[in-house]
Structure 1
């Protein structure tokens, strides 16, 4: 009996173990061969923030583009396919056919990259109608639309196909416009919107003046910076030639280059305002000290070296004011003898030369300020630097240094960022003026402004003079380096002019540089008139009070007569004064072509009012 029960126990134990092994085996097979449920995390989408002007007008906005891809070996009728898709792609039939035939054995080729949403929609319709799905596809990529094309292009910058900024604000503010998501982030992450300090309306007007100046002087390039003298905000920033940001891949290096930030050059005589300020502030000279200009500065050093600096004229006896008025090299070189080298270099650096201004742009140049230990320093270095040679600067440095004169001797830091706000409009950052250390005594800065005003009234800058607002200027024309033969070129010149206005209460610093003009090159003749045009435009745009301007008192109630709807009969009507909203319905007409440029109200039109209407006529309207 006991033997039977022992055998039964052993058999039962073996049975239980076998069942357990089978269970484990089945579980293992399931784990090994059956798909397991996974936790799917929703992908993170980053919506890049916009770049706008100071008033919120969009300059760079998020959009989507598509690469149009085909598999050539699956296309049975390339010519027919090319004929169907050529119109929305804006390509020729032969061009498309050639691409397909040249890669007929390839798995895929790009017919066209970065097509718009509108082109995509048209192509989808064609593909659906002709059943082209087996050999076509679209790669969706994040894109950027630049509504104003080339306006302030070097400042705004450009975003690459991978969603990363490659230049300008697009690059320097990458982490703000498109923040990196946290590891546990889900859904959509919105970048912040960056409001620039520039005014797009003013930028448009000044670019128009700048382009006209380039055409008239046949110059190779032009730079223009207009800054608010009170807070350092840059209102207009121009570097010509410039690139159309919507066609950036086809732009030239010249068009991409941000000259005002990355180019260092010898400024010539404009630099004399900072030299004279240093001489006076250090008490090395007084405003009444006189220096005799006989047409050449010449001095022999104890080591036997002869220093010779020529002047454009024999100016006779000059003090600091008249030396700036006539831009006398001889007098400035004599003044430089009165200050020690260490003190002169100290002032130059306190003005900010030799250091980056720190604006929100990549690759800003430091320029170059030599010191006495430099291998190229010589006995002529100090007098030569005093007239703006043997020193290299950037346009941004020149404007920031000029804020010292405009603000009673205290420098203001320049900026391109007005504010930063989130998608809901909540302000995350707002610019407040940043003041540097005192560079000059207040009396020295005021005296230099009065000297610049004299130069505008009766010196080399008279062509920059304004009729009803006080302005101070300093012109300069510098020989450029001969990169082939060494030394200075006899044909290439840099012409520039600095302006500050109004003198009694400075509000604007305006600086223009024209490089390699053909024919006339003297800054007083080719840059000063551009300063006057640009200053007038700035004054009117910002509403700065002019002397003698009429004032009007009224109750504050204004009745505006409603415009009647536009009616176009047999002749072109007068569009002058019409707001943009009145013009929008005209765009729907299919018998006339309207080209509307700018914002605001119609200031000019072509053809003139009264011109007979013809079929498919193009009417251009310029708004301001």
Structure 2
């Protein structure tokens, strides 16, 4: 052993161990003190697509917001800090100071959430100038800007802080606007842009009419839908009250509710057009059959049950046309006796009632259509349903059912999506009309349109008449359910009106519902005039030819005179026809307040031209 462990061998072993230790220490030092190269995978960012109107006008666009975060325990001078940042945050000094002091030992608190890019830029400048980097930071979050505020707000919907749509198109088209990335994806993924069918210019005009109507009737809510009768594209979609999408979190439940899609209600007499269509198409009655209205429909069943349905008048002998003209409950109930229950319910379902329309909106209601096996079915159900009670519908269902009358008996599927395009404008989807099965004979649909035209000319819908263009209407006033005591309310009414025009070549289906108006509730008086105003706007906006419209030959050469600069003296001038660029200099005046709404040229103003000027007067200008 002593021969084996000689000095040379032992020294060599120690040398090898020493070299190994030195190698280990060097490696450790490199790992500890030198920066290491790391392979970093670039994070995937998703650029959410825009929502626009049919013409490409932005209604919802991608932006960024920031949460402003501070570490309170590191702030030495809270008052000074609060004073410097209060202005860009639009907050009070005391409010900021109190937030910091209330959490002085916390690691972080939010001073303000969802600040804009402009606020962020101002704060970064302040932080840089005062070296506040050690206790401030910003959390960048995806955001959404809604340029038109409350315009078509329930349709467009709202996006939450996590980048997920919470309602409307923002929700239903989430995967198109913001697609999920593949596991191996890198860089920026762009969502597609969704072009809605609505025309924002027309939407603005009709919302203005609708809001005025709500104010005049002191109604609780209003729905209005205008659809293209040829292809099912919805041109305007209104549910009031509505929410400002840029302040959505502070909106009320009433403002968030999309009534036209999610609310089911009894339509009342407007439903009679579909009932009469069913009776005629099934040959249960003919157009010449007469029914005597003595003011009340009364029948005793074999089971001893007495059915009583009152009418507003004693109309005498009526056929189908005059029954619709005067909206006679008695005649409709008598007609319902001529059709079997199974066939009547079959027609109602073929019109689309009891089923969702399938539009691109979440939480659409089916409404309710009873059948004979329903526990609430009774001998009075069929005659009552024929006049629009004991059945619940949505406004969308009513419009889609009306497309049957406008299209020779064939239903057209409604839609809100005009097209979908990628970031480069390449079309990925474009709407083509989708036709359903035939519901009525062409002759039946044409006859119902002529009946609706009669109602507009000399019946309950005369206030909807346009004089210079043919229109067919049907009005209805329905008692609403008493949710407290049961039965029907004696004070709450739903007033609605369906319109189709022009009759000879239907292009537009227009439908309005006003709920719980104060004072006058009769549909012929409060909703028919609104239909006339809205139809006029639609006709002019879309350029539908009016009868008797003046025409002349023109060389095609147009001379445009340059507008003289606006001058305001002692009275309000006439701003009508002035372009927006002429109005910009007026905003610099400090003695008058100007409110400019819309784009284009001045179409309306308040106060009227010639009104004496007063100090600090507010002048409102509506542009179209």
Distance 1:72 1:7, change over 3 A: closer
Distance 1:386 1:562, change over 3 A: same
Structure 1 range deviating more: 379-388 or 19-28 = 19-28
What's the CA shift string for 1:230-252, capped at 9, x where partnerless?
11110100000000000000000
What's the CA shift string for 1:530-581, capped at 9, x where partnerless?
1111111111111111111101211222222233455667876543211223
CA distance in 2, matches of 1:317, 1:102: 80
Tell me the SS of whatever aligns to 1:114.
Answer: strand
Deviation at 1:22, TM superposition (A): 9.8
Distance 1:44 1:570, change over 3 A: farther
CA distance in 1, matches of 2:52, 2:530: 27
CA distance in 1, matches of 2:32, 2:102: 48
Distance 1:137 1:568, change over 3 A: farther
Distance 1:518 1:555, change over 3 A: same
Distance 1:16 1:83, change over 3 A: closer
Structure 1 range deviating more: 560-569 or 22-31 = 22-31
CA contact (8 A) 1:201 1:599 kept: no
Tell me the SS of whatever aligns to 1:5.
Answer: coil
Structure 1 range deviating more: 514-523 or 92-101 = 92-101
Tell me the SS of whatever aligns to 2:5.
Answer: helix
Normalising by the residue count of structure 2, what TM-score does the alignment of the two structures yield? Answer: 0.93
Tell me the SS of whatever aligns to 2:264.
Answer: coil
CA distance in 2, matches of 1:457, 1:410: 26
What's the CA shift string for 1:425-479, capped at 9, x where partnerless?
1111111111111100000000000101111111111111112111111011111
Structure 1 range deviating more: 281-290 or 177-186 = 177-186
CA distance in 1, matches of 2:570, 2:186: 60
Tell me the SS of whatever aligns to 1:242.
Answer: coil
Q: Which runs of 5+ in 1 are unaligned?
A: none
Structure 1 range deviating more: 614-623 or 348-357 = 614-623
Structure 1 range deviating more: 53-62 or 549-558 = 549-558
Structure 1 range deviating more: 488-497 or 393-402 = 488-497
Normalising by the residue count of structure 1, what TM-score does the alignment of the two structures yield? Answer: 0.93
Structure 1 range deviating more: 475-484 or 34-43 = 34-43
CA distance in 2, matches of 1:609, 1:315: 50
Deviation at 1:486, TM superposition (A): 1.2
Tell me the SS of whatever aligns to 1:613.
Answer: coil
CA distance in 2, matches of 1:134, 1:34: 25
Distance 1:461 1:617, change over 3 A: closer
Deviation at 1:606, TM superposition (A): 4.3
Tell me the SS of whatever aligns to 1:29.
Answer: helix
CA distance in 2, matches of 1:483, 1:55: 43
Structure 1 range deviating more: 527-536 or 251-260 = 527-536
Distance 1:126 1:542, change over 3 A: same
Distance 1:609 1:285, change over 3 A: closer
Deviation at 1:589, TM superposition (A): 6.3
Say whether 1:567 aligns with 2:567: yes
Deviation at 1:522, TM superposition (A): 1.0
Distance 1:572 1:93, change over 3 A: farther
CA contact (8 A) 1:230 1:507 kept: yes
Structure 1 range deviating more: 592-601 or 330-339 = 592-601
What's the CA shift string for 1:390-440, capped at 9, x where partnerless?
111000000000000001101011011111111111111111111111100
Structure 1 range deviating more: 208-217 or 75-84 = 75-84
Structure 1 range deviating more: 62-71 or 268-277 = 62-71
The residue number in structure 1 matching 2:365 is 365
Q: Which runs of 5+ in 2 are unaligned?
A: none
Tell me the SS of whatever aligns to 1:129.
Answer: helix
CA distance in 1, matches of 2:201, 2:313: 43
Deviation at 1:514, TM superposition (A): 0.4
Deviation at 1:615, TM superposition (A): 7.8
CA distance in 2, matches of 1:69, 1:369: 54
Structure 1 range deviating more: 45-54 or 590-599 = 590-599
CA distance in 2, matches of 1:17, 1:79: 63
| RMSD between superposed Cα atoms in Å | 3.0
The number of residue pairs the alignment matches comes to 624
Deviation at 1:41, TM superposition (A): 1.4
Distance 1:608 1:455, change over 3 A: closer
Deviation at 1:110, TM superposition (A): 1.6
